[in-house]
Structure 1
Amino acid sequence: MAPSSMARVSGRASPEAPIDLVQLATNTLGNRDLEVQVLHLFKSQSRMTLERLENETDPSVRADLVHTLKGSARAIGAARVATACECLEGDLKAAHNAPTTGLVAAVTEANGYICDLLEG
């Protein structure tokens, strides 16, 4: 299996990075085209999820949205987003209108990193 061209070209993989490029490459079998598609999909899905969370009042729908985003984050190696989702899931059990500030920050950071990878 060839190493991921995304990780090879970017040179930005580090423990502090919001996306684990090694995990991304593993999950996409090192296929650069698939990596790009998955990253674009995550950006789109995460933005839509945050918008829906902002407007959603049904607690079970809010919990489902956060849980789905957590799985997507794990799939691309966005550990901080996944952790923020886990925290929010716990908060939503206590208060159905728990603030999403931490999740918004983690998604913003991950999506900014994705933009840098794809445009840089």
Structure 2
Amino acid sequence: MAPSSMARVAGRAGPEAPIDLVRLATNTLGNRDLEVQVLHLFKSQSSTTLERLAKETDASIRLDLVHTLKGSALAIGAERVAVVCETLEGKMKSVSDPATEGLIAAVDETNRYIRDLLEG
């Protein structure tokens, strides 16, 4: 993100931020418009994924949803979401219906950060 973007989230642009803005900029080749687009896409996709995950009963589909969300999180630099997804994927292979509260919390935090970042 441009320095002005990081300034808008002062105090949350370091290692504790839900999104690594340097990784985001690298993955979008520094294209600010593309950064904004992928952040909007992540926000929308992650919300939809959580809704589908809550309703889905097929274990393999649930696993695919979490795996896809992990890839999307890595693409925008949302490391915490990706780590939670990775952990959840492991649990889903041995437990029929593992708790998803940690994933919901990580996605909510990331989406709030995106909202603050984009809305200033």
> Normalising by structure 2, what TM-score?
0.93
* Identical positions, percent: 69
Show the counterpart of 1:39: 39
Tell me if 1:119 matches 2:115.
no
> Which is worse superposed, 94-103 or 65-74?
94-103
Q: Which runs of 5+ in 2 are unaligned?
A: none
Letter of the structure 2 residue corresponding to residue 9 of structure 1: S
Secondary structure of the residue aligned to 1:94 is coil
Higher relative contact order (CA 8 A, sep 6+): 2
Letter of the structure 2 residue corresponding to residue 106 of structure 1: A
Letter of the structure 2 residue corresponding to residue 72 of structure 1: S
Secondary structure of the residue aligned to 2:98 is coil
Number of aligned residue pairs: 116
Secondary structure of the residue aligned to 1:16 is coil
Q: Which runs of 5+ in 1 are unaligned?
A: none
Show the counterpart of 2:5: 9
Letter of the structure 2 residue corresponding to residue 67 of structure 1: H
> Normalising by structure 1, what TM-score?
0.93
Q: Kindly report the root-mean-square deviation, in angstroms, between the aligned alpha carbons of the 2 structures.
A: 1.0
In the TM superposition, residue 96 of structure 1 has moved relative to its aligned partner by: 2.1
Query: Deviating runs (4+, > 3 A) in structure 1?
Result: none
